[in-house]
Amino acid sequence: MVDETPAAISLIDRPAMLDRRDRFLGLLGTRSIIMGILNITPDSFSDGGKFFSLDAAKRQAQKLADDGAGIIDVGAESTRPGHTPVAADEELARLEPILGKLTSAINIPFSIDTSKAKVARRAVELGASVINDVWGLQRDPGMADAVAETGAAAVIMHNRDGTDPDLDIVADMRRFFDASLRLACDAGIPSVRLILDPGIGFGKSRAQNFTVLANLAALKDYGLPILIGVSRKSLLAENSPTPADTSVVRTLAANLAARANGASIFRVHDVAEHVAAFKVFDAITRC
């Protein structure tokens, strides 16, 4: 894939970043892609505090890679419901000692889970090749330009400030994506570098989340890959008496349904189990 963007910022190793970006984009459409989650936060809902140190983060990133992740998504700010927002400088203070060392040591693509342009730009300098924005280029006015100028690929996620259970959530999602894609186009981001994420668990009721998962075909006309992030989320275990009911089994069930409905990238904590399950799924569906 030819890089069509100018070198608007000075990257630590731009050719390596572009190579990883293109390796990741080149996988799209060939098989199910597993995105491993690495939270270097003290407060993420499932694994907050576990990988906050460099050694722990490196061990976990290597495990995700060894288990078969096609890309690793690194986040330094929790986006769980009720999370405490952090400033860009705090997010960077968490990333700076870790991200560059991960991308240097582990030769697979990395993405940065952030909604801040300043953080996104620095993460690309540190080796990230995908910007995963939970506000779909719409929260930070500089984000679309950051994506365009760094040459990174981008995940555009649907989000809402609140939940309205009476809303036509599919129509709302389309309005949101239309606005995000206009921003991307105006900034000069090629569509081949864009991925859509319906934002499961963000600004939606449980019923709306399931409606979205059942109606992913409504996004097919965009002609863009679809990423699903439902791993270990409580919406999978209504009235659950124990946390175990949000285990890998329920996550796998939701992700396999999403795959059947058109999704191709799956952001998960449990990489090995998903790699094994999707090998079977892909083998069957190719027959």
pLDDT in tens, 29-40: 999 999 999 999
- As annotated, the active-site residues are 233, 267
Residue 182 has a pLDDT of: 98
- Contact 110/130 with Cβ under 8 angstroms? yes
To the nearest 10 degrees (0 to 180), the angle between helices 169-187 and 143-150 is 50
Low-confidence stretches of the chain (pLDDT < 70) are 1-12, 43-50, 52, 80-83, 239-246
Of 128, 117, 134, nearest in space to 187 by CA:
117
Residue 78 has a pLDDT of: 78
User: Which tokens in the block code for residue 157?
Assistant: 């996620």
Residue 259 has a pLDDT of: 97
Contacts of 265 (CB under 8 A, 6+ apart): 28, 32, 33, 34, 35, 195, 225, 226, 227, 228
Predicted confidence (pLDDT) per residue in 73-115, tens digit: 999 997 766 667 889 999 999 999 999 999 999 999 999 999 9
Residue 10 has a pLDDT of: 44
The percentage of residues in the chain with a pLDDT greater than 70, rounded to a whole number, is 89
**Domain positions in the chain:** 20-285
To the question of pTM greater than 0.75 for the whole model, the response is yes
CATH class of 20-285: alpha beta
Of 158, 97, 149, nearest in space to 118 by CA:
149
Residue 148 has a pLDDT of: 98
For residue 134, give the amino acid letter.
V
Give the separation between CA 287 and CA 274, rounded to whole angstroms: 20
